[in-house]
Chains A and B, each alone.
Chain A
Amino acid sequence: MNTNDRLTIAGREFKSRLWVGTGKYKNFIETQKAIEASGADVVTVAVRRVNITDRSKENLLDYLDPKKYIILPNTAGCYTVEDAVRYARLARAAGVSDLVKLEVLGDEKTLFPDTAGLIEAAKILIKEGFIVLPYTNDDPIVAKKLVDIGCPAVMPLAAPIGSGLGIRNPYNLKIIMEQVKVPIIVDAGVGTASDAALAMEYGADAVLMNTAIAGAQDPIAMAEAMKYAVHAGRLAYKAGRIPRKLYATASSPIEGML
């Protein structure tokens, strides 16, 4: 890909427009191989209690070279502003950067974002110097508010987390992409490669996924498929597609026919 076509967020440059989660894999070797195959340079991680009773257990970070990957901690599993803020602070204390993928979830069944809580938590964390990348609904007004309070990118969902439904509301996503002048990372709900390509064709700046890769029958092959899909979608977006027309337009000239 054209090396000038780099994604930049809050002054940081990202090599890949595909970002991946690290959950739900069979083991760390599979995680490592899938991430490698995806070409992603941003990987999301969760913050959890260390297993203190059995120290023989390996750590994910043993398998992810910090020089190769940008570790993006999330606040997954947090349903309140207080919890999300607490986990973000813990992530910063455990890690090396101010980056956080902020999630404040509304309920366990849909895992939809609690957007009121999200805005509140984002305000607190931005004041504390965090670079907040908010996981939000496909709601253009909420996206605008998040940008107004200082989020350097927004991460609207395509569909519920882990649902694999693909982009349920392309028109809202398009409105967000038009109205919001920061990078848009479509996060959650991707099912297969064409979903990722479509998100990029609509004009998303990047796509973040976990289950679509980790849950595939062959996660490493799917990771590679996603790499090409995101790449192809980006190229198609930059190239500019032809308009849709109801009737045919001949590709071959009429002149010279018998």
Chain B
Amino acid sequence: MVESIQIQVNGESRSWRAGATVGELLRELDITSERVAVELNLEILDRKEFDRRGIKDGDRLEILSFIGGGSLNRKVTPAMGDVIRSGR
């Protein structure tokens, strides 16, 4: 049985298996890594690091991508993404 850890991905708690990398997480979430930015505990990761960086218990990940936007998207439709509130 694989040990599991608790992590936060885009503000949601998730159980994940211990020892997984960021790259594995993205693949398992069906996210194309070429188009996203990943912030691990507020550190922005270089894409080349995705397969090298392991995820630990308590880690907070933010996975972001480009969505439609002009000068402001105060009312982002659910289909296009979730609005991030500034600050934490």
Instruction: Point out residues on A near B: beta carbons under 8 Å.
Output: 20-25, 28, 31, 44-53, 55, 57, 59-61, 71, 73-74, 76-80, 83, 89-95, 103, 105, 108, 111, 135, 161-162, 187-188, 209-211, 214
Contact = CB atoms under 8 A, between A and B. Distances in A.
A89 B71 CA distance: 18
Contact of A51 (B35, B69, B82, B87): B82
A125 to B, nearest CB: 13
A162 B72 contact: yes
Contacts of A59: 35, 65-66
A90 B81 contact: no
B61 to A, nearest CB: 10
A103 B71 contact: yes
Given A94-B35, A94-B36, A135 B66 contact: no
A117 to B, nearest CB: 12
Interface string B54-71: 000000001111111111
Nearest to B78: A51
The CB with the most chain A CB atoms within 10 A, among B62, B67, B70, is that of B70
A161 B80 contact: no
A53 B81 CA distance: 11
9 A-B pairs with the lowest CB-CB distances in the bound complex, closest first:
A21-B70, A210-B70, A46-B69, A93-B37, A94-B37, A48-B81, A22-B68, A45-B66, A161-B71
Contacts of B38: 93
